[in-house]
Amino acid sequence: MVTAQHVECTRMEDLPPEALQQVAAYFQTLSEPTRLRILNLLRDGERNVGDLAQQCGFSAANVSRHLAMLTQQGLVARESRGTSVYYRIADASIYALCDLVCGNIARKFERAALESAAFGAAPKRRAAARARRG
């Protein structure tokens, strides 16, 4: 088994165009909110398709299609047990990536809110100054 500690990190700028296509496919897999929700549900441990479908509010067939894409990209692993198929996270580093992106988006919204508040505060200060003068 290869662990993250034994794999040399490859920088995106060093990748050939063919590898960049694979990176794009990986990110495309993450571009669907249902798949992100499935990944979040799998944080707590393995689940079968029925459990995931019930918790997502989608049909088992729909969830199975999403799980197939996640499996194809190596994000989740599947295991058959009797008549059920169970899924678990195959690459836990996906959570670090998602948390990094979520943190960046949260900071973007915080900056936008601060800028919006600053623009909203200026007219209020001018109106208050006018009221005091007049």
pLDDT digits over 62-77, tens only?
A: 999 999 999 999 999 9
Which residue stretches of the chain are H helix? 17-29, 33-41, 49-56, 60-72, 93-133
Q: In Å, how far are 112, 114, 117 from 107, measured between CA atoms?
A: 9, 10, 15
Q: How far is CA 4 from CA 89, 92, 100, in A?
A: 15, 10, 17
Give me the pLDDT at residue 62, please.
97
Give every residue of the chain whose pLDDT is below 50, as ranges.
1-7
Q: In this predicted model, what pLDDT tens digit does every residue of 11-30 receive, in sequence order?
A: 888 889 899 999 999 999 99
pTM for this predicted structure:
0.74
pLDDT, position 95: 94
**Using CA atoms, how far apart are residues 18 and 37, in angstroms rounded to an integer?**
29
> Are the C-beta atoms of 9 and 56 separated by less than 8 Å?
no
pLDDT at 4: 44
- pLDDT at site 119: 73
For the range 58-61, what are the long-range contacts, defined as Cβ-Cβ under 8 Å and sequence gap of 24 or more? 58/34
Please say whether the structural domain 1-91 has been given the CATH code 1.10.10.10.
Answer: yes
Q: How many other C-beta atoms are found inside a 10 Å radius of the C-beta of residue 82?
A: 5
